[in-house]
Chain A
Amino acid sequence: MRTSIAALFALGVLVAMPLALASDLGDVGTLDQAAVSNLPRFVEANRQVVAFKTGLDKQFTARMKAAHSQADQQRIITEFRGRLQDRQRALLGPLFGRAQTAIASVSSSKNLSVIVDKSIVIFGGQDITKAVIDLMQSPGPIAAPVSTPPPSEIGFVDNDQIDAIPKLKTANDDFLRFNEQQKRIAAQKMSKAKTDAERQQVLRDYQKTVSDRQDQQLKPLADQTKSAIADIGKKKNLVLVIDKGHLIYGGTDITPDVQNAFK
């Protein structure tokens, strides 16, 4: 009996060990997105987008001159913006796809559970930039990994979606309107200010007005949001939560939970 307990204990240790290793945050990868976007393929695609935009600008100006009404102008603007964005997506979309496959492939081969932008990691993590670049530059298609990344202790939220929560959006829009209005007033005052001291005073007044409003209107909501995110993170056994904009691959999405918390 004692032997079997010891054997079970040993087995337990053996089984638990890979889990312990997996939870070791050596499984956080980082990627220098700027380095990837400087790859010749991206540079060339961006050059093509710029060239396309230059040509489009000329057509746009000519069409706007010939427009007879405001409605015509709006139609032209929408049309040209759509054309530019479609082109951008057509040129850059496949490259993003290839980059993502390369990232997923490297991540899988290195047993990483999450890849984040290098700019938010100040220490540690495995930098996979070179491996990804090498893979991206290799000829032929890149094979996608057969398994999805393991669950990660790093959570993420889509701040755009959080900002769109009605309560937060209303407050934010209201604040932006207030800020624009104060900016216009300050700019008018600034144009009348004759000395540097007067200009500094205008700036200080403007900053204080906006900052007071921010503290009064937005800070309580920001604190509430942060607290809700932290609580959800704890419930889901996450260590910390980052913005989706900094996430490159993997991670645990808690955006829907945060949205629900505000319902």
Chain B
Amino acid sequence: MRSNRQILRPTRLTRILAVAVLGCALGACVQRVDVNAPSVRGIGYVRLDDVVKKHPLYSELSQIESNMAALSLQSLGPAVPKTGAEISRETIQLNRELDAARDRANHILQQKQVDYAQKEQAAVRAAIVASGENPGAAPGQEMQNTAAAQVAQISASANRDFAAYQETLMLQDRAATQNVAGALEQRADRQYHQRLDALNARESQASLEMVSRDSAQRLALRTKLNNLALDDALRAQTKAQLAALDRKEADAVNAMRAADAAELATYQRQLRAQTSAEIAVQTSKIHAQTAAKLAQRRSSVSSQASAQIGGLAPAAPASAHMSAATQAKIAQIDREYRTRFKADVSKTVADFNRTRTDLDARFSELRGVDTASRGSVGKQLGALRDQHDKLYNQIVAQVQHEVQNLANQRGLKVVFINIVAPSGGVDLTEDAQKDIESLHE
């Protein structure tokens, strides 16, 4: 029984056959095409893209290309998440935070106001008791008057608070509307300028290419004209050809300019219509939110005022029945408490102002977020492009090396890539693909 090894070991005949087959294969390689045949003339070509696809690193290259395409799609998007809906959402959130901070500050202020009023009343009462004076047998009417004054004060204060809130909200509404409109208009402007720049670049490029492309023909015609032996008819014909070339260039440039101008005008109209529609949608959303907030605040303010009015403590019994000294003492207590209240309140106001400054900064950031995000996408795209080019060049260098070996083996003189169509020549694509694949096996 033969062992596996024996089975696998090639016999002499198989070896000979293998050599013969290899010889035939090599021979076929060498003799497959006569490189000096009229249809070849020492020229080969490679479909580079097809060879690159067989490179082991192609999957990596392809992944980078996918990432670039995804990022490009993101950057092409209408950017509504940042300029429209998302800005609107984040604006609402920031407004909510601002409202909460203001409510908190108002609540603290009201609480302090009540505390200081109570303390002041106690101090006044203590001063009256200490003076041994009777403030009067019928303080009820006075207390009622004071309470009524306080109710009026609370109502006025509530109204003022609501008016202030309304004003603030309207300002915020206007600012938010302007921000959204501004962001959308900026976006439209940016898109328009991108198109304008692209068309400019295309025209410049085409214009230069035209000069460059036709210069060979122009030079050939001028060379003809340099020939002194040229007869008059041929000279006139060559001059006419030169003139036709100039006309052709000028016509082509003018036609391109006209077509681009029309395209730009259409694009601008589209952008304007689209932007106006988006602004209208976003503005109505913001207005609806503002109206809802106002209604909510109106009901909250009125219930707060009712609660305050219901819980009113009798005011300090300052009275004309008191002596000048007691009245002076009470006035002094009032001044002292006012001063302390102001000092205390200013701290709360300062805290609120700090919060508001922070929120303002975030509002500003929000307005700049669109530009920043686009800048970030641009940077990422740039980095990916560098990475892509580096890898692609590395792959092409390897392909080039393999093709050079193949060309030398085949006795070719020139090998082209990226041709439009072959009419002859030797196609090295498949062999290059095999070589590239086998390199990494």
Contact = CB atoms under 8 A, between A and B. Distances in A.
Interface of A: 23-26, 28, 70, 73-74, 77-78, 81-82, 84-85, 88-89, 92-93, 96-97, 100-101, 104, 116, 119-125, 144-149, 153, 155-160, 183-184, 186-188, 190-191, 199-200, 202-203, 206-207, 226-227, 229-234, 236-250
B211 A93 contact: yes
B220 A188 contact: no
Contacts of A24: 41-42, 413
A247 B216 contact: yes
Contact of A240 (B223, B227, B413, B425): B425
Contact of B420 (A97, A123, A187, A243): A243
A200 B71 CA distance: 11
Given A157-B420, A230-B422, A188 B223 contact: no
Given A85-B203, A124-B414, A145-B223, A240 B424 contact: yes
Given A92-B211, A124-B415, A78 B257 contact: yes
Given A23-B41, A147-B223, 16 more contacts: A73-B268, A74-B265, A81-B260, A96-B212, A104-B216, A116-B416, A123-B400, A123-B403, A155-B423, A190-B73, A190-B77, A191-B74, A238-B424, A239-B43, A240-B422, A241-B421
A221 to B, nearest CB: 14
A241 B211 contact: no
Nearest to B424: A239
Contacts of B268: 70, 73
A14 to B, nearest CB: 19
B200 interface: yes
A25 B223 contact: no
A97 B45 contact: no
B420 A242 contact: yes
A84 B204 contact: yes
B208 A88 contact: yes
Given A188-B78, A234-B424, A122 B226 contact: no
Contacts of B403: 122-123
Interface residues of B, number: 70
B53 to A, nearest CB: 15
Contacts, number: 210
B184 interface: no
Contact of B213 (A116, A123, A158, A242): A158
A25 B43 contact: yes
Given A24-B41, A203-B70, A242-B416, A230 B421 contact: yes
A77 B21 CA distance: 70
Most buried by B among A104, A146, A147, A190: A190
Nearest to B40: A239
B394 to A, nearest CB: 15
A148 B223 contact: yes
Contacts of A89: 207-208, 211
13 contacts: A74-B264, A89-B208, A100-B216, A100-B218, A101-B219, A146-B223, A160-B206, A187-B74, A203-B70, A233-B423, A234-B424, A238-B424, A249-B216
